[in-house]
């Protein structure tokens, strides 16, 4: 079948990292469903993301057709079938909850706009 495009945000982070192998080996969308994994993270994390890409490629997972690492929303959200939005700002020392929420609202608002602009209208989030 045709591969589905699956985005994971915050892809260089620990939460995303724990999901990627399960997605790529067929545990999430089925053992027959080929996929293209799109990995989005912030620019300073791109070198870490390259390591994640190499690890996924080393696994030689038969369903994984392509891995696309990016720090650009217009690349990440283009023609998506599935979006798994786990990337967010972690709480830092001395940060109040309202500050954390404000920072994350900015992230998810931007991603919502990118979903609307670039993803398929049938995208599942």
Domain chopping of the chain, boundaries: 8-118
Q: How does pLDDT run along the chain (125 residues), one tens digit per residue?
A: 899 999 999 999 999 989 999 999 999 999 999 999 999 999 999 999 999 999 999 998 999 999 999 999 999 999 999 999 998 877 778 878 888 888 888 889 999 999 999 999 999 99
Superfamily of domain 8-118 in CATH is NAD(P)-binding Rossmann-like Domain (3.40.50.720)
Residue among 92, 73, 91 nearest 83 (CA): 73
Give kind and range of the element (H or E) at residue 14. Answer: helix 14-24
Are 36 and 114 spatial neighbours (Cβ–Cβ below 8 Å)?
Answer: no
Model-level pTM?
Answer: 0.90
Residue among 69, 4, 81, 8 nearest 43 (CA): 69
């Amino acid at each position: 079948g045709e591969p589905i495009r699956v985005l994971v945000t915050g892809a260089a982070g620990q939460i995303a990292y724990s999901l990627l192998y399960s997605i790529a080996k067929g545990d999430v969308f089925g053992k027959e469903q080929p996929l293209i994994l799109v990995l989005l993270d912030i620019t300073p994390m791109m070198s870490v993301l390259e390591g994640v890409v190499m690890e996924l490629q080393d696994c030689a997972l038969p369903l994984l057709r392509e891995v696309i690492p990016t720090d650009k929303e217009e690349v990440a959200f283009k023609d998506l079938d599935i979006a798994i939005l786990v990337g967010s700002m972690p709480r830092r020392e001395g940060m109040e909850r309202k500050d954390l929420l404000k920072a994350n609202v900015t992230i998810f608002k931007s991603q919502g706009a990118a979903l609307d602009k670039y993803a398929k209208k049938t995208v599942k989030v």
